[in-house]
Amino acid sequence: MRLAQRVQELRGEGALAVFARARELESQGRSIIHMELGEPDFHPAPQVVEAGRRALAEGRDRYCASRGLPALREALAAYLQSSRGLACTAGNVVVASGCKLALYLAMQALIEPGDEVLYPEPGFPIYPSVTHSLGARPVAYRLREAHALQPDLDEVARLLTPRTRVLIVCSPNNPTGTVYSRGVLQGLAELAARHDLAVISDEIYARIVYETPFSSIAALPGMAARTVVIDGFSKAFAMTGWRLGYAVAPPEVVEALDRLVMNSFTCAAEFIQIAAVEALRDPGGHTAAMVAEFARRRALFAGGLDAHPAFRCPAPQGAFYAWAHVERAEEVQRRLLEEGGVAAIHGRAFGPEGEDFLRFSFAGASGQLEEALRRIRATIVL
């Protein structure tokens, strides 16, 4: 059957290929420590599960509002105002089945064929993949070690052309953990205003920061009118499989996103949205406790890897990935998996700039991080 060109342009995700190989090795009896997936080994707080269960028992399993339940949209607006200083109301919020879907819809709404889209590299592989499929040109701005893994404003300015329409930012960034500095956010905001760019701000890791506070580009003066914030419940509330995300956007973009929802998945599941209201209330401080545990794992794992003579691994500022420089990274990744039983991802999965790096997720593998370090030391001997 003939496939549409836009689907042929789409790429997969490197993490899923490594996961498949790791599973194959396990089926042969090998022990594998999984550090390839960005999935917390926590589950949502018990009150969240209970709220979902109660909602189901009460029959809240029907079609509902395409933009999302008013109660959730109001709770989200209050949460984003108080935690990120976003000047938004429920009218700015559209709920989707996953942050990735919110990102996809935002890109559908804003990108035309022939546009140029600036995105961070190393970065989430979906940005260039979806940009290509929309007939537009992805243009990478780099996050280099020499620049403390921050965007270089001069480089971003040089990459701008009259065709540049959209700027994607991701802070904290997957895979580097970069929390964009205030100066960088201000510089990017000025460039966006001067060149009339729409900004997509992927804030899925906003709650997972360590010493460095998070700021949203949408909270800077004038930026709410040109920014679509996307976020979701997967990482901050350990709800990966619940598939719930959202976009916060100016009214005309909300209208467009709503039309896209109506033309695709109709609405996100009602009982999951009800549980999400409970997640946002977070009375037990579940998110803070999880982030404190990630901080402990970060010190243990990134610190341990950095002490290995073959690796250079500064502690990430945010998210839960150790982004480690190593010579011959592709071969090291293969040997760690095949010989050592540690699954990591070669940095090239996040763009050519990741060629000399590996990404290890410390979101899972709790209790196995010391063993992972032991295996790495035993496999990669200098």
Closest approach of ligand PLP to the CB of residue 124, in Å? 4
Closest to ligand PLP by CB, 320 vs 376, is 320
Closest approach of ligand PLP to the CB of residue 202, in Å? 5
Q: Could you tell me if 229 and 218 are in contact, meaning their C-beta atoms sit under 8 angstroms apart?
A: yes
- In angstroms, what CA-CA distances link 83 with 29, 213, 241? 46, 11, 24
Closest to ligand PLP by CB, 205 vs 375, is 205
The angle formed by the CA atoms of residues 361, 363 and 367, to the nearest 5 degrees, is: 100
Where do contacts with ligand PLP occur on this chain (CB under 6 A)?
A: 38, 98-100, 103, 124, 170, 174, 202, 204, 232, 234, 240, 245
Evaluate the omega torsion of the peptide bond into residue 172 and state whether it is cis, within 30 degrees of 0: yes
Long-range contacts of 87-91 (CB under 8 A, 24+ apart): 87/219, 87/224, 88/224, 88/248, 91/251, 91/254
Closest approach of ligand PLP to the CB of residue 379, in Å? 27
Long-range contacts of 23-28 (CB under 8 A, 24+ apart): 25/337, 25/338, 25/341
Closest approach of ligand PLP to the CB of residue 30, in Å? 26
Strand-pairing partners, residue 185, are none
Closest approach of ligand PLP to the CB of residue 232, in Å? 4
- What's the token pair of residue 101? 């879907």
Closest approach of ligand PLP to the CB of residue 371, in Å? 25
Closest to ligand PLP by CB, 174 vs 227, is 174
Closest approach of ligand PLP to the CB of residue 318, in Å? 11
Closest to ligand PLP by CB, 277 vs 319, is 319
- What's the token pair of residue 312? 């250079």
CA distance 82 to 36: 33
Closest to ligand PLP by CB, 118 vs 380, is 118
Closest to ligand PLP by CB, 68 vs 232, is 232
Closest to ligand PLP by CB, 139 vs 244, is 244
Closest to ligand PLP by CB, 204 vs 253, is 204
Closest approach of ligand PLP to the CB of residue 349, in Å? 12
Cα 238 off chain centre by? 13
The angle formed by the CA atoms of residues 12, 14 and 20, to the nearest 5 degrees, is: 95
CA distance 210 to 234: 18
Q: Which of 125, 178, 167 is nearest to 348 (CA)?
A: 125
3-state secondary structure 81-111: HHHHCCCCCHHHEEEECCHHHHHHHHHHHHC
Closest approach of ligand PLP to the CB of residue 347, in Å? 14
- What's the token pair of residue 84? 């990120």
Closest to ligand PLP by CB, 55 vs 169, is 169
